[in-house]
A and B are shown apart, each in its own frame.
Chain A
Amino acid sequence: MPSLRDTQAAFSAAIRSEDARSIAGLVVAGGIAPEERIQIYRNNHRIGALDVMQATYPVILRLGGSEWFCQSVLRYQQRHPSRSGDLQFFGEEYPSFLRADLAGTLHAYFHDVATLEWAYQLVLTAEECGPVDLGVLKAVDPDDYERLRFVPRPALRLVESPFPIFAIWHANQPSLNSPAERPGAEVCPAEIRLDAGASRVLLIRRRDHVELRELSRANSLLLRQFEAGAPLGAAAEAMASEDGDFDLPSCLRELLGLEAIAAILLDDGPVTVGTAGDHR
């Protein structure tokens, strides 16, 4: 009698391939060929992956079309099998898969769009923390400003690309006025030139939705400094060396106005904390 582990390994191999020979001999036919019975589970396995990926990457689905997307996801599933009983992680490697799969093709930009869509998922499910109460800055001695550290909210991501991914993402959102538009429909959006310029997209979670907006180069550079944990003085120096016209107060005011900051620390200790949570 095969062991439980050997039975499960054989069944798994049969589901993940087109070859059911590893398990067919262990299956009661009961009037239906074992291969047909195993095909039911094989179909479930593939449909489950497609359902999750359609929900996670709807713009890639629209850009590539249903047939291409299906084949792409099934290849991805073979190369990056699920490592968790929780499918929310399944699509994590898809952007890097696309980068390798589409390198050197006209669709190389799919990697950047997929990166944006994965960032959307991360922002959707991130811990809630902040935004910080700016009133506490009044208590800070101006001589200490350069030591302040601004901690971005966990429910925030910055995605940068040489391609116009913000415009591409927006053009491929389903229209509330066009119920005929469905994921997978080969809709032609307004023409967007891939050489239209770089895109720096801020994704930030609001009360009941994820907001996407483009950031200026200066704001994105400052946000990256904050993400790296740089105190304000060091961040300003780094910014000045990148851009001689950098306006720190203006950029900082914009990021605070976007409610992008969860906490403000003085050296390693809190000047204040956000409404909940850990701070870096």
Chain B
Amino acid sequence: MTDVPFIERAAPAGPIPAIAGIGLRTAHQEQIARERPAAGWLEVHSENYFADGGMQIERLLDVRCDYPVSLHGVGLSLGSTDPLDPEHVRRLKRLVARSEPAFISEHLSWGSVHDTHLNDLLPLPLTEEALAHMVAKVHRLQDELGRQILIENISSYLEFSHSQIAEWDFIAALGEEAGCGLLVDVNNVYVSACNHGFDARHYLSALPRHLVRELHLAGHSRNRHGDREILIDTHSAPVCEAVWDLYEFALECFGPLPTLIEWDAELPSLEVLLAEAGKANRRLEQVRAIAA
């Protein structure tokens, strides 16, 4: 497999500033490439760009000339007791070399066991064993990549009765012990808090500020189960008011941070997506104004 020739980049490969970004979805690729809209930065699902060649990767490298990029993986299954997939890591490393991302992120989750992949972000039992396991795998991945990664909290729909550690303490410990950063998905905190009955603000307050490097915002759906409700992280709707409120609290906790609008399903027009990013930018500006 050959290397893609180096492409001179207009956008720096350095940190993303504390502004809003959007996901680079296939449906919007051509429009973004043509119009170069005022999006702060772009995030992609890493696995969607693992191909050896073709239009998808070409378009990413084209827009990379003008936008900082973040690679957000969903398939490495870091919480799995299976070892890291060497082919998956090799493809990720190649994509990193090609795209020079500002961030590389994955999830506090697992998705495979005994070499069978479920291709989902499944919740871990939050035990000492699981923490030690995640720390070791994050270390291993960061050694392979030669750089820090960010770990994102997921939305979950069940908890394990043998969990020993609260999720906020688990992910904080992971960050401290593995030396990774945290990508805090505010919508996921809200969804999990509603589903499991904990205080979302307590969760955010418990996270060490110095570990948090990026924020995600997204929409969710509500499913009824008898007289109860479960929120599902569908990424198919605008950010709701409760999550905007929680986002403002997150900015108080962590300061202004790069913030991604995650809208992956029932995709709106690019203009609607950019308008959502605009809402995040206004809140970021307010926080900067207060701090000034």
User: A-side interface residues toward B, CB under 8 Å?
Assistant: 1-5, 7-9, 11-12, 15-16, 25-28, 30-34, 36-38, 40-41, 44-45, 48-49, 81-88, 90, 124-129, 154-155, 205, 208, 276-278
Contacts and interface: CB of A to CB of B under 8 A. Distances in A.
B2 A127 contact: yes
A155 B120 contact: no
A242 to B, nearest CB: 33
B1 A127 contact: yes
Contacts of B146: none
A125 to B, nearest CB: 4
B2 A277 contact: yes
Q: A33, A44, A49 — which one has the most chain B CB atoms within 10 A of its CB? A: A44
A119 to B, nearest CB: 14
Q: Nearest 6 A-B pairs (CB), nearest first?
A: A85-B75, A125-B51, A127-B52, A128-B53, A37-B158, A82-B117
A155 B52 CA distance: 10
7 contacts: A30-B159, A32-B226, A34-B158, A37-B157, A44-B120, A45-B119, A125-B56
Nearest to A51: B265
A61 B146 CA distance: 43
Given A86-B91, A127-B2, A205 B119 contact: no
Interface stretch (B80-88, B178-186, B205-213): B80-88
Contacts of B88: 84-86
Nearest to B46: A86
Interface string B214-232: 0000000001011010101
B177 to A, nearest CB: 17
Contacts of A129: 2
A145 B285 CA distance: 69
Interface stretch (B107-115, B242-250, B255-263): B107-115
Interface residues of B, number: 55
Contacts of A88: 47, 50-51
Given A26-B160, A30-B197, A125 B52 contact: yes
A44 B52 CA distance: 28
A180 B35 CA distance: 29
Contact of A126 (B53, B85, B124, B133): B53
Given A15-B118, A85-B85, A85-B88, 4 more contacts: A27-B159, A125-B52, A126-B53, A128-B53
Given A4-B127, A15-B118, A30-B196, A85 B53 contact: no
Contacts of A155: 53-54
A162 to B, nearest CB: 30
Nearest to B106: A85
A26 B162 contact: yes
A7 B125 contact: yes
B113 A82 contact: no
Given A28-B161, A126-B53, A127-B53, A85 B2 contact: no
B116 A12 contact: yes
B129 interface: yes
B85 A27 contact: no
Interface in B8-43: none
A86 B158 contact: no
Contacts of A49: 119
B53 A12 contact: no
Contacts of B51: 88, 124-126
B105 interface: no
Contacts of A32: 225-226, 228, 230
B125 A85 contact: no
B117 A28 contact: no
A83 B127 CA distance: 27
A2 B53 contact: no
B280 interface: no
Nearest to A205: B54
A125 B161 contact: no
